[in-house]
Structure 1
Amino acid sequence: MKNFQIIKALSPNSAVSSINKENSAMFIAGGTNLVDLMKKNIAAPDKLVDITSLDLKKIEFLSGKVSIGALAKNSQVAEDKAIKEKHPLLALALAAGASQQIRHMATVGGNMLQRTRCSYFYNTDMPCNKRVPKSGCGAIGGSNRMSAIFGASESCIAVHPSDMCVALAALDATVLVEGPKGKRQIKFTDFHRLPGNTPEKDNTLLDKELITSIEIPDNNFNKNVHYLKVRDRTSYAFALVSVTAALDIQNNTISSARLAMGGVAHKPWRLTEAEEFLKGKTVSETTFRQAANLAMKGAKSYGDNDFKLTLGPNAIVEALTIASSK
């Protein structure tokens, strides 16, 4: 790890101003991912702007929505009584992520910005277009058990590691940011990027922008919901495949649905076509299997991750079945 300077920001405006003065400066909060990247010399900032003192930790229930500050801890959100009642899907996804100790340090904004856990990205002796553009993708033709089956490219088949983000994508969240050019809002489903030919770009933040909060609109998905995470071990492991399922069921008929997957793409993968299919359908295993098959259209595997083509639809059916039984 290289030497670096650290300064403490006292307001979002001063944080943006401080980081704007130096090209290699970065924000730091919980540091649960950034410090790892610095240890591996994947990230090498000359300056860190500590934003932990900013007033961005509140969970506020406003008219028609909930606002969650970017510095709210993962554990704080997951354990919040009102979040569990009104947005249980988010609480379930957060509780499935990392370890209890890491959830006590990790922030909502940091969770959104965490980088892939692809082994080629972390091994600086191996080619990785995300780490070193134009160097190649070692996972293609290499060890790719964890890799994407949707939205990948010849440049990158890495997946986004977050559990929380899968739920936020399904819940139609909005990201609020502040930067040198002012404030703006980004639809959560537009926040993370597919790799294309620029896999080094994880998201649609502009240069030096700071996430200040996320907002989730009110919805009816407070009962028939489930977050299913399939992983190699039940503690502190990233998803091979995850599914977030939320159903609004009236008289055994699905009036609306939300579905998204994790562990399958460079971003949380929203299953909008399957959602539309489920509307107006009767709750049944046949309906869920048809929706799952529809959701898997266009999936492509790369050898070691061929099993995801079977695991994916089975996980969707299981998540929908459990959600509908509550």
Structure 2
Amino acid sequence: MGPTASGKSHVAVAIARLLPVEIVSVDSAQVYRHMDIGTAKPGWRSLAVVPHHLINLIDPNECYSAAQFLDDALRAMGEITERGNIPLLAGGTMLYFKTLLDGLSPLPSANSSLRAAIEAKAGEKGWPRMHQELALLDPASAARIKPSDSQRIQRALEVCYLTDRPMSEILQKPKTVHFPYHVIRIGLIPADRAALHQRIARRFDEMLKLGLIDEVNAIRDKFYLNEGSPSMRCVGYRQMLMYLDKKIDAVTAREKALAATRQLAKRQLTWLRAMTGIREFDCIAENLTEQVCEHLLNAGLKAAMVS
């Protein structure tokens, strides 16, 4: 686990050269097909070294939830263990990790027609007005959701409409947990936040050179996407879409993309610090992969002795 640009993919492939693992992606952006450059999907060299699962699952005009991830991940992990290999979960979507480890509240599945109706209503009235409506139906959820957070407002309203109950009330119910694995938790956390920000900038500039703008343009035209589309909420994509729509210039688009990516990293680190049992490694360290691999060998040996 770790923030964006912390080197998770590189370390995961290094582990695959040492142990019989298959990688399960824990990344809410890499589930989208055609979104390769901006999501930093593994290239053909990495795919040749080790199998990767839960990437390229849906098109950019479709939705994917934590509940779907839970089902897909457990199924993939079961198949990996049946082959005699070890599931290696690698990514930065902390909600997905939490869902796997702590279980999922009994919320209803997404309803596409209802979501479209909420989107249409928001188009007329604006999301702040939708937030006011949520405050009447579910004050507790409205208190923790910003009036500008359209995605969470939409989900909270959807749950209210489908269940006739506040989402906050349903979330208080006990969660069902089924995760029959011995877990070794590794967190790649920067000792120097400024160094991570520099790495983020270098990686984004490389994405631009590789053709990120053309990638966004192609999927926008093919799938009729806009800034409200779930896939376009991924950092980098929304800002490039704004540039293509001539709402901002190229310099501003880059600055906004970097700011959004730094904010994402900050949120990921906040999630990580709230989790327990994590062995932390400085993701900026030059010998990071050696440290992690040594730790895994020692942890595996201890687990074998206990069993």
- TM interval, shorter chain, is under 0.3
TM-score (norm: length of structure 1)? 0.22
Tell me which of the two structures has the higher relative contact order, counting C-alpha pairs closer than 8 angstroms and 6 or more residues apart.
2
TM-score (norm: length of structure 2)? 0.23
* Larger helix proportion of the pair: 2
* Larger strand proportion of the pair: 1
